[in-house]
Amino acid sequence: MTAGLYLTVEGLDGSGKTTQIDRLAAWLTDAGRTVTATREPGGTEVGQLIRDIVLHHRGDIAPRAEALLFAADRAHHIATKVRPALERGDVVVQDRYIDSSVAFQGAGRVLDPAEVRRLSEWATGGLYPRLTILLDLDPAAARERLVSAQKAYDRIEAEALEFSERIRAAYLAMAQADSERWAVLDATEPADRIAARIRERVEPLLTGGESVGPLR
């Protein structure tokens, strides 16, 4: 079986993930690679239903229930979209993955981060990306970007600033603990400069890209 290359992009809402994923996917396509660009939650039809619940449900969702919903989306997404794409040899570029749950539900919701990670590892069969790009941005600056864009807040974006501060700290701690997988980029830099830095990290992986973790 030929394994493709699995890349994920993480960061606070407002950090520019969508812009950079679009640019990376276009660059990879121009380079002759087949790209599957996807997201969590909501990368499948089932996932879109779950996304509507976790982001737009009116009223509280218990933190453990929220973590389980994200894990359910992830299990279906990996089984039906990501693994088949990797088996075809695609480059998968994904907006959010396990690390989001560890940051948002672990640190943000103050659940046990190790338990949250184990739940998603079980849901995905232990699949990890070869490279995770973190677009690091101060939470106050991220909030200003959302306001400037006149974006209506979803359930998670509407949380207090302290919630986002815990998430950012969790992301940076994960990146420091696993520097071989993570690349931390300053999200305040110009978009063109960020895109160039991402390409610099991805290009060496294209000739021998493999996923960290088995394609089971």
Model confidence at 192: pLDDT above 60? yes
Q: Exposed/middle/buried for 123, CB within 10 Å: 0-12, 13-18, 19+?
A: buried
- Architecture per CATH, domain 5-205, reads as 3-Layer(aba) Sandwich (3.40)
Model confidence at 214: pLDDT above 70? no
Q: How far is CA 27 from the centre of its chain?
A: 19
pLDDT tens sequence across 158-183:
777 899 999 999 999 999 999 999 99
Res 152: pLDDT: 65
Model confidence at 126: pLDDT above 70? yes
The residue assigned the tokens 């909501």 is: 42
pLDDT tens sequence across 18-34:
999 999 999 999 999 99
pLDDT tens sequence across 64-119:
999 999 999 999 999 999 999 999 999 999 999 999 999 999 999 999 999 999 99
**Helical (H) or strand (E) element with 87:** helix 83-88
Q: In sequence order, what are the residues at sequence separation of 6 or more whose Cβ sits closer than 8 angstroms to the Cβ of residue 73?
A: 40, 41, 42, 43, 44, 46, 47, 50, 51, 54
Number of H helices, E strands in the chain: 9, 5
Res 150: pLDDT: 66
Res 99: pLDDT: 98
Res 66: pLDDT: 96
**Section 109-132 average pLDDT:** 97
Domain coordinates in residue numbering, the chain: 5-205
Res 120: pLDDT: 97
pLDDT tens sequence across 39-69:
999 999 999 999 999 998 888 999 999 999 9
Res 146: pLDDT: 87
Q: How far is CA 160 from the centre of its chain?
A: 21
Q: How far apart are CA 31 and CA 17, in angstroms?
A: 21
Q: How far apart are CA 86 and CA 175, in angstroms?
A: 24
Closest to 92 measured CA to CA, from 49, 41, 132, 51:
132
What is the dihedral sign for C-alpha 63, 67, 68, 70? positive
